[in-house]
Each structure stands twice: as structure tokens, then as C-alpha cells.
Amino acid sequence: MRSYNRTLHPLQYSEEGMGLWLYAFDAAIDGKAIPYMPNPHLHRRWEYAMAMEFLNSLGGTERCPRILDVGGAGSLFAPIALTMGYDVTVVDPDPCVGMFAGQQRSAGGTGRAICADFMEWGTTHAPYSVETFDVVLSLSTIEHVPNDVEFIQKLACHARRGLFLTTDFSMSGEVFQAGHLRTYSPKTMQNKLVQALPEEWKLAGEPEWVDSGGWIMGYNFASMGAVIDEDI
């Protein structure tokens, strides 16, 4: 079984299921019909592919029709998910989240965009009326968030079955990008992010946070996927 707790290596693109998402990413860029933030990193393909395969592992649109994308303003993930039949809500404080309207017109499907700080959104009457989704995803966002432990806990609060994120990774934890608050190492992935999950959440596969190269300007991407215990 594929682990959803791993580091990027380009050889993973040849794994079963991944090719569809590479095609979807490249087709969206080449087709020029879907608005998105310019110049996405090539290995966003890995993040999106891993996220979509994680959704598939939980039953896809049949069992997980409603998903929340936290921090995905202007990315191609939401329109790709829309074309596959997911109902997508994107929450992001960046005004470019408004691109979602054009993305939806081009990709079809149902969803909404909310321009708000996720840490302040949906908490007026928490925890009694927090809006929940089948799966919550957050791609390359947590490294920008001041309190990452509270962020993980809030992601889990909105998720019914699955939680998936990607982030900056290096073996040393050295910060490579200006404006990024941190880079995660194997130790901080395990001792900080995993430990922040409520006890009913379990990792979807054994951790494979290893040194597999510096594919992102000297550092790498890592993913963390977790599910409610009953879904294992």
C-alpha cells in the first residue's frame, strides 16, 4: 500500500494512478482555459497527484464528495478536483482566491471560494457549528502559518474522514525560502505535526520522510496524510 506520508522523488510519478494527475496538470497549463497564479512549480504536480490519490484511497467522490482546500487560492488543484466531480471549498486570505469563479466556469462542478484567514474562519460558534467536510487538504501552506500546531488541530476539526497536507522538507530543517517560517525535518514532522493530531487520527501509511533529494531549489516537499481510525 502506498504511504501518504513521504517525500518527493520524481520516480514516484511512474507509480500507478499518478499519471492521470500529471496529465491533468499539464493539460490545464497547456489549454490556457483555466485562470491560475502564474509559473506554478513543476512539482506542484506531485502535491496534486498525491492529494488526488489520497482522496481516491478514501473512496473518491462516492465516499468523499465534499472537500476543503485551505490556502489554495489561485492554484490548479481546485479546478482539477472540480473536473473529477468533487464539491470544492477554497479558504484563503489572498484576494486571488477570487480566481475560483473563473476556474469553476472553465472546469464546471460545484464549489465556493471564501476570502478569509482560515484560523479565524468558521469559529464564531465553535466547536458546536464548525462546518465539516469529508476531507480537508492544505498544500504548501503550513510553512507560512505562525502557529502550526493550532493550524493542524483546526484542519482536523473541519475534517470528517481524511486530512492531507504538503510542506517544505529537509533533513536538517534549514529554512530555504524567504517568507517561509520553517522547513520540517523527519523529527519535526513526527514530533510536532503528527503529535498535534487529535488521538482518533492515524497516519495513512508508515512515515517515509527520508532524504530523497533537493528537488525544490535545494529542499524538498513532504506529505502527511491521516484518517479517522475507523477508516484504516
**What is the reported pLDDT for 231?**
56
| pLDDT tens, residue by residue, 163-198 | 999 999 999 999 999 889 999 999 999 999 999 999
The CATH H-level (homologous superfamily) assignment of domain 10-231 is Vaccinia Virus protein VP39 (3.40.50.150)
- What pLDDT was estimated at residue 127? 53
Residue with cell 465516499: 63
What band does 129 get if pLDDT is binned at 50, 70 and 90?
low
- Of the pLDDT bands very low, low, confident and very high (cuts 50, 70, 90), residue 1 is confident
Dmax (CA) of the chain: 46
Average of per-residue pLDDT across 18-46:
95
Per-chain mean pLDDT for the chain: 95
Which one, of 204, 192, 110, lies nearest residue 163 by Cα?
A: 204
Return d(Cα 225, Cα 232) in angstroms, integer.
12
pLDDT tens profile 43-73: 999 999 999 999 999 999 999 999 999 999 9
